[in-house]
Chain A
C-alpha cells in the first residue's frame, strides 16, 4: 500500500472511534464543569460568584487570607489527612485478610457469618450512630481522631469487595504453592496480594475518600475546634449569616485536592492489565 493510502486508511479508521470520543468528551464536560466553576469561583469575590459570572477573578489571595485566618483550617486539614491515611492502611489490611479467609477457606459456618455481616451493612447509619457513639464514649475515645479511624477499620463493604474480587482468582495457584510447602500467610502476602493490585488500588481510593469526606460521624464524635475535620469546617463556612462564597469555594477546592491526588497516584493500576502476574 502506498504511504498516502496508508495515512488515509489510518485516518478513516480513527474516525470510526469518533462517536466514542464525542460521547466521552460530552460526558467528561458534564462531569468536570462543576469543578471548573468551583476553581473559578475560588478566585472571585462573593458577589461575583452569586451573580453567575465565570471568569478568573482577582480575589484568590484575598480568599486564601480569609480562609487561613479562620480558626484552625489547616488543623482540620491535617486531622482529615491523619484519619484518612490511617483508616485506609489499616482497613485495607484487615479487611482483605478477612475476605481471603471468607473466600478461600470458605465453610458453611463462615458463609453464614458472612451473610449476617452483609445484613449489618444494610442497617442505615442513622440508626447506629447514637449506639456507636455510646460505645465510643465507653471506650473513652470520644473527641479523638482514633474514634474516626477505629470503627472504620473493618467494614463489611471492603470485605465484600475483596471477596468478590477473589472469586475469580485461580485456586490452582494457591494449591500448587501449598504443595510447595509455603504457609498460608506467605501465600497471601507474596502471591495473592500482588496479583490483586487493581482491587487494592480501587479499595484504597474509595476508603480514603470515604474517610476524607465523612461528615455525620465526625460531627457526632468530635467536639472541639482543634479536632474538627474538613467537612465540618466547610459546613460552618457555608452556613454563616454572611457567607463568603469565594472563600467557601476555595475551601472546597482545597478539600477536594487530596482525593484527586490519591486518585492520580493510584489510577495507573487500572491501566494495562496486570493479568501477567497470574501467569
Chain B
C-alpha cells in the first residue's frame, strides 16, 4: 500500500494524508456519537412507557404540535438565549480586550478573578447560588440592609428568569473571555502599530482590526453559546426546581430530562423533543455561518 501511496501525485498524496489526520478522531466519533445518534433516531419513532414501547412516529409528531408545555418550554429557552448570549459575549469581548493591554497592572489577578466562576462545577455553583439567593439568604439580607428589600429570586416567576440569566452570565462570561484572549494573542502586534502610525483611534482599531481578525473565534463562541443555551439544563434544574414553580424557567433539555426520568418515562417522545432542539440549533448555526461568510 505504501508503494501505491508513493506513486500518487503530490496533490492526491496530500488528500490521503489529510485523511490520516482525521481518521482516529472519526473512529471515536463514529463509535461514541454516530452510533448513539442512530439509536436515538430509532427511538424517535417509538412511543414508550418505560420499556413498553410501540411504533408510533406519527403519534409522536402529533403530540409535538399539540404539546402546550412544549410551547412554554420553547419560549423559556429562547428568552434565555436571546437575552443572555449577546450580553455575555459582548462582556467577554470587552473584558478580553481590556485585559489584553500589556500596560494594565494586575492583569493576572483580574483575569483569574473573572475566569474563576468558569471553574466551578455546575452542581456546586447551583448549590451555592441557591444558598445565597434563599429568601433570607445573604443577598436578600444585603438588599434589606440597603433598604431595597428582599427579592423572590427563587420563587417569583419573573425574578427566577433574572436569576438564571445572572447565574449564566456569572458562570460563562469568563469562559468565553478565555477564547477571545487566546484569539487576541494570535493577532500580530505590528498591525496595531502600523495603524497607530496611520492615525487610527482605539475605537477604529477595535472595530476595524480586532473584530475582523477575531471573527473565526467570535463565530466559534456564538455557535457554541447558541448550542449551549438551547441545551440549557443544569441551572434551571439545580437552582429553581424545588424552590419555586418551574413554569417560566423549564428549558427544552429539562423537559427532555423530565420526560425520561420524572414523568412516566417516554424515551421515544423525549428523543423527538431532543431532535427539535437539534433542529433549532442547526438552523441558528447555519444562519450564523452565513452571516460570517457574507462579511468577508
Contact = CB atoms under 8 A, between A and B. Distances in A.
A–B direct touch, CB within 8 Å, in complex? yes
Interface of A: 17, 20, 23-25, 27-28, 30-32, 34-35, 37-38, 49-50, 52, 54, 94-95, 97-98, 100-102, 104-107, 110, 113, 117-128, 130-132, 134-135, 150-151, 153-154, 156-157, 159-161, 164-165, 167-168, 184, 188, 198-199, 201-202, 205-206, 209, 212-213, 215, 230-231, 234-235, 238, 245, 248, 252, 255-256, 259-260, 263-264, 267, 269-275, 278
Interface in B211-246: 213, 216-217, 219-220, 223-224, 227, 230-231, 233-234
A128 B111 contact: no
Chain B interface category by residue count: 35 or more
17 contacts: A37-B128, A54-B138, A102-B22, A122-B277, A124-B278, A126-B256, A128-B37, A130-B260, A154-B26, A159-B25, A164-B219, A165-B217, A184-B17, A198-B185, A215-B122, A252-B127, A267-B111
B110 interface: yes
A68 B260 CA distance: 35
A235 B260 CA distance: 20
B36 A209 contact: no
A132 B39 CA distance: 9
Interface stretch (B52-60, B82-90, B171-179): B171-179
Most central of A27, A153, A201 by chain B CB within 10 Å: A27
B194 interface: no
A39 to B, nearest CB: 11
A124 B33 contact: no
Majority SS at the chain A contact face: helix
Given A123-B275, A238-B123, A275-B186, 5 more contacts: A123-B274, A124-B256, A157-B224, A230-B121, A234-B127
Nearest to B283: A122
Given A24-B98, A124-B231, A124-B256, A105 B18 contact: yes
A134 B31 CA distance: 11
Contacts, number: 274
Contacts of B26: 98, 113, 154
B171 to A, nearest CB: 10
B18 A101 contact: yes
Given A128-B36, A245-B131, A275-B187, A234 B256 contact: no
A84 to B, nearest CB: 12
Interface stretch (B63-71, B112-120, B148-156): B112-120
A124 B28 contact: no
A180 B178 CA distance: 36
Nearest 6 Cβ contacts at the A-B interface: A105-B18, A101-B21, A127-B274, A131-B36, A98-B25, A28-B113
A31 B170 contact: yes
Contact of B40 (A20, A104, A131, A198): A131
Contact of B220 (A132, A164, A264): A164
A235 B36 contact: no
Interface string B32-48: 11111111100100000
Nearest to A230: B121
Contact of A252 (B103, B104, B128): B128
B158 interface: no
Contacts of A252: 120-121, 124, 127-128
B227 to A, nearest CB: 5
A19 B62 CA distance: 56
B217 A164 contact: yes
Given A34-B129, A126-B274, A273-B189, A98 B21 contact: yes
A34 B128 contact: yes
Contacts of A37: 128, 132, 138
Contacts of A150: 28, 32
A107 B188 CA distance: 28
Nearest to B30: A154
Most buried by A among B40, B233, B256: B40
A270 B181 contact: yes
Contact of A278 (B22, B120, B131, B188): B188
B209 interface: no
Nearest to B174: A31
Contacts of B189: 273, 275
Nearest to B258: A126
